[in-house]
Amino acid sequence: MPQYIQFIFLLTSIFTSTSSSPSSSPKNLTLIGSAHIANNSIILTQEITACNSRSYSLNGRILHSYPIRFFNSSSNATVSFSTRFTFKITPPPPPCIPGDGIAFLIASDPNSLPHSSGYMGLPDSPISDPFFAIELDTSFNPGLGDINDNHLGLDVNSIVSVASIDLTSQGVYLKSGKRITVWIEYRDPEKIIRVWIGYMDSKPEHSVLSLPIDISKILREFMYVGFSASNGRGSSIHSIEKIQFHTFESLTPNLQMETRSSRSCLICYPEDPVVEDYEITLYHDNHKDNRVLELAFGLLFLTGFLIIISSLIIVYCICLNKRRTLRQRFRDHPQMYRFQETEIPKKIKLADIRSATKGFDQNRIIGQGASSIVYEAYLPSCGNVAVKRFCKVNQSISLGNQFATELATMVGCLRHKNLVQLHGWCSEGNELVLVYEYMSNGSLDKILHKRSNNRPLTFEKRLNILLGISSALVYLHEECERQIIHRDVKTCNIMLDADFNAKLGDFGLAEEADGDDSVGYAREVVGDGG
């Protein structure tokens, strides 16, 4: 019962937990082109359904709605900055080709950026308004100086990169469909930019790009920060999941530029006079109105779940009580259960049976019927046994049914001193075998018809045989919980042990009685003469 309680608590926590739903338009972001919000992410590009389409898809771009100060005219100082963002590029299935890629962008005038698709949405020709970009390129264009279709590049006022890094050698694959995190730091006092990239949430120890560069020459007093992506003639889904951006006015050498918050947001007020944080908020905080609806659905699911669990517990208690009642009945009336507690016979490997019968040697045959042959054998786990081998299943479908019927009957509740006991069974390929206890005096018909070397049966032995078979039939018809009709009682199916105690065997034609109709059906002629 403790397992049920733990399960209830687990499901309760699942159903009552509320999930945040994305808003349609973040208040501090501007969505341009095909950019939109979905699945708690910013989706920059749409996937093209027709791979052979000759038309270009729209590019997608997001920009912070308000410009960010990069140059202080009063102090004549350029700020340092750091950013961290997590993105994912989901490539299309073959034979479609991937898109162009995604780029982190700092631009002076968003209106100067092209609206046509291609080149990650960056300008493909010189413009008067400066821009800076870190591109994550998934399209190989030798004319632009690309080194391959999986590289990181630094662009200054041109889509021809100032520096490029092969990400394949770094163990990063942009088109893997996995979440990838990028860290970018620019220190103006040192005039150096560094870039880290990896699949983990923690920043790698070594940067993939470390380049001396003075970008203060292209930075205006106010510039826009964001991302741009395009597919060109390809088809990929470019998505942004987390973004953080920070500026530093008075950067000292010992000041760490790590982002100090893991929230998925953009603008916060500065915590000190030298640091200003711009954090992109991916989602609204005005989803409180939806919590009532979410709570209602959660309670509905919880109520239904508790009803199901309660029903299962009630059924379990009923079954447990019934089992206890049967056990108590056995203690109160032991004379009605003159058999051992049912044990399921074990499955025996065919190789062990072949070894015990010397490969089903004909010299070991001790009995033969219309559907099976019986061999004498020895198994280390059982001692001397009688191996009943059914004819090939593919020769007669009914033989497989006889095997299944006999096995099911013996496994049920047939543990009686006057019933031949089943030790094991085997069903491998076309071989169907039942392993019974060995009856040293064979069948009754051999003795009655003097086909054995035994002396004629005395009156006492004959009476003992009749009483034993009668006891077995009374047990089958009246005392067994599942009333069984043997339907094939004859001398060749009555086996004798070393002391001439009779045991009834061969239940291949047996049926379970179920009222007067089943008993009447069981009186039909079945089996063979004997």
Write a three-state SS string for 488-526.
CCCHHHEEECCCCCEEECCCCCCEECCHHHHHHHHCCCC
Closest by CA position to 473, among listed 481, 483, 464 = 483
Secondary structure (3-state) at 476? helix
Q: Give the count of alpha carbons within 13 A of 187, CB side only.
A: 16
392 is in an annotated binding site: no
441: tokens are 């005096």
151: which strand partners?
137, 166
Longest dimension (CA), the chain: 129
Q: Give the phi and the psi of residue 511 in degrees, each rounded to 5.
A: -135, 155
Q: Give the phi and the psi of residue 377 in degrees, each rounded to 5.
A: -150, 170
Q: Give the phi and the psi of residue 277 in degrees, each rounded to 5.
A: -105, 130
Q: How many C-beta neighbours within 10 Å does residue 460 have? A: 9
Pairwise CA distance, residues 414 & 407, whole Å: 11
Signed CA dihedral, 446, 452, 454, 458: sign only: positive
Helix (H) or strand (E) segment spanning residue 78: strand 77-78
Told to judge if 155 belongs to the known catalytic residues of this protein, a careful annotator would answer no
The one catalytic residue in 488, 497, 499, 517 is 488
Ramachandran area for residue 500 (φ above 0: left; ψ -120 to 50: alpha; else beta): left
Cα angle vertex 32, ends 27, 37, to 5°? Answer: 55
Q: Beta strand pairing status for 346-347 and 422-428?
A: parallel
Residues marked as catalytic: 488
Binding-site residues from annotation for ATP: 388
Binding-site residues from annotation: 388
